[in-house]
Structure formats: structure tokens, C-alpha cells
Amino acid sequence: FSSMYGKVLICDPVDNVMTDKLKDKFEIDYKPKISPQELLEVIKDYDVVVVRSRTKITKDVISNGKKLKIIARAGIGVDNIDTDYAEEKHIKVVYAPGSSTESVVEITLAMMVIGARSLYKGMENTRKNDFTKLKGMELEGKTLGILGFGRIGKAIVDASRTFKMKFIAYDPMPVEYPEYVKKVSLDELLEQSDVISINVTMRKDSPYILNDNELSKLKEGVIIVNTSRARAINGKDMLKYLKNGKISAFVSDVFWNEPAKEDYELEMLKLDNVMITPHLGAQTKEAQKRIAIMTADNIINEW
């Protein structure tokens, strides 16, 4: 009788509502701290594997997953999954598009203001009872360039209209632009933006979008906020522009390695104009619940 049930392995922490929704149809093993080695060994027993961003579903994991039918990403961005190999093996990949938009928009707006007003430095200083005033820049009247005009990029524009900024956006796909957002080329976005918000989707093997050539076109003193994927930018190339101040602030929720391990990353983390959060974009009760519900529904629909 139990063979009627599919077996699900959950590899990262997810909201309880996911197991509640799946438990009638599936036998569930919850191992939110599973190591890559253990995953390679046990994956052969499972029909469905659920991951967030920590666990990587590599080609080797997929090859060992002889019974695997569904790979579920509880979140957005499947760049930790070898989707090409999964497709070759006829394994479905599901995720939860749109489920954390509100949370990511809110953190992005905070990051824009942090970058413009040295809030982080000011808070660090007052901890040491140093009340020195730091001068910043108003966002009103400045140009916000959105790189990647998808769900989150669009919602960031809508939420930041209250700042009375000018909006420009670049996206290589045929997406729709409201009348208050000017569609521009990548070069125009780099040359005109006072603040750039990066909101692109990346695949596992996507090339960097911003290398030295692109970064050299940035406006002097630009603020760059990234709540999408670190790989949108070539970090080694970026370091030079952070050190010489062409980029006045880099506020990012994502990093090339989380935690950092390359020399350029460790050097970057020490700079005053670099402010990094540990991938908190979707880390709210509300988003985690929506993600768990949507991911579970998608698993059930595909089963």
C-alpha cells in the first residue's frame, strides 16, 4: 500500500504548511541540514526533492536519483539546479514564481535609501556613541534604472513612485513598459542611472551581464542595489570601481559565494561602501508561507 505514496525529500528549511499539504499523498523526509555527500547517497530512494538555494541539484545528484520525477525549488531562481540535465532525464522542475515579490520589493527600497543616506555607517557609528553627521543624496528627481524588468523589477518601480524618481528599464525580452517607465538600451541604462536596481533571472551557466566594459560606462557616484543574483555582475571587475568611488555604494542581498571565499569577495566585504545582507529577500513569514503553499501545489499538480 505504501508504494502508492511518492517519497519526498526536503533538503532545506521550509514552512510547515508544505508538509501539511503534501502528507496525504506523500511520505516525507525532512532533512533541512543534509550535506551534499549524504544527498548523493540517499537521493536514489526519492521521487521528489525539494530545495531552497542552499542545496545544489547537480548533474551527479540527478544521475543518482534513479526514481526522481520532480525537482522543486521552494522559491524563485533555479540557478542551483542543473535544469538542462533534468530536462534530458525528463524530470520536471517546479518553483514558486511571484511568491516573494512583496518581500523583495520592500528590502530593495530599504537598500536604495541605505545606499543614498549612509544609514548603515551612521548606525555603526552611533553604536560607538559617535554622532558625526553624514551627508547623503535625495532620491527625488534622480534616475532609477531597473536591470531586468520582470515581476520584481516592475513592482519596485510601482513602490518607489512615491520617491518621485525618473524610471528607465532595460530587458532583452519583449516585456511591457508602463508610460512612466522609459525603455532603454543597456548602455543608456548604465550611462543615465543614478541608482541601478538589478532584478534579472540568471541560469546556472549565464554569463556575467556587467563586466569591466559595461561597468566603465556607469555614471560617476552611482548606487547599485542587487536583490537578484550576484552573477549578474563580474565581482572581480567591480572591485576596482568600488575602490575608486565610481560606484558610491553597492548594497546587495546576494553574493558570489554565500559565505564569501574568493580573495576579491573578502576584500569587497571590508569596504565601507559595500553593504551586504545574507540573502534575506524572501525571508519573511508571509513570503515563506506563500512559497511553501505554491511549491506544494505545483508538486501535487505535476505528480
Q: Which residues bind ligand NAD (CB under 6 A)?
A: 76-77, 97, 100, 104, 147-153, 170-173, 175, 199-202, 209, 227-229, 253-254, 279, 281-282
16 burial via Cβ count (<10 Å: 0-12, 13-18, 19+): exposed
Residue 153 C-beta: closest distance to ligand NAD, Å: 6
Tell me how far, at minimum, the Cβ of 148 lies from ligand NAD, in Å: 3
Q: Is residue 110 within 8 Å of residue 284, measured between CB atoms?
A: no
List, in sequence order, every residue forming a beta bridge with 28; answer none if it has no partner: 8
Q: Which of 54, 117, 203, 279 is catalytic?
A: 279
Q: Which is nearer to ligand NAD, 39 or 276 (CB)?
A: 276
Instruction: Read off the DSSP letter of residue 124.
Output: H
CB distance 207 to 233 below 8 Å: no
Taking the complex as a whole, the smallest distance from the CB of residue 208 to ligand NAD amounts, in Å, to: 9
Q: Is 106 a catalytic residue?
A: no
* Separation in Å, CA 255 to CA 113, 154, 156, 271, 275: 20, 23, 20, 14, 11
Smallest distance from ligand NAD to CB 146, Å: 9
Looking at the Cβ atoms of 69 and 279, the one nearer to ligand NAD is: 279
Collapsing DSSP states into helix, strand and coil, what is residue 233? Answer: strand
Residue 231 a catalytic site member: no
Return the number of the residue (139 or 282) whose C-beta is nearest ligand NAD: 282
Distance CA 208, CA 211 (A): 6
Q: Which is nearer to ligand NAD, 37 or 207 (CB)?
A: 207
Q: Which is catalytic among the residues 106, 214, 258, 267?
A: 258
Active site residue 279: yes
Contact (Cβ atoms closer than 8 angstroms) between residue 303 and residue 70: yes
Name the residue nearer to ligand NAD (CB basis): 65 or 150.
150
Within 8 A by CB and 6+ apart from 165, the residues are 139, 140, 141, 142, 143, 144, 195
Least distance (Å) from ligand NAD to the CB of residue 107?
Answer: 7
Which of 52, 73, 151, 229 does the annotation list as catalytic?
Answer: 229
The residue nearest ligand NAD at its CB is 150
Q: Pick from 52, 55, 62: which is nearest to 86 by CA?
A: 62
Q: What is the residue whose three cell numbers read 506523500? A: 26
Q: What residues are annotated to the active site?
A: 229, 258, 279
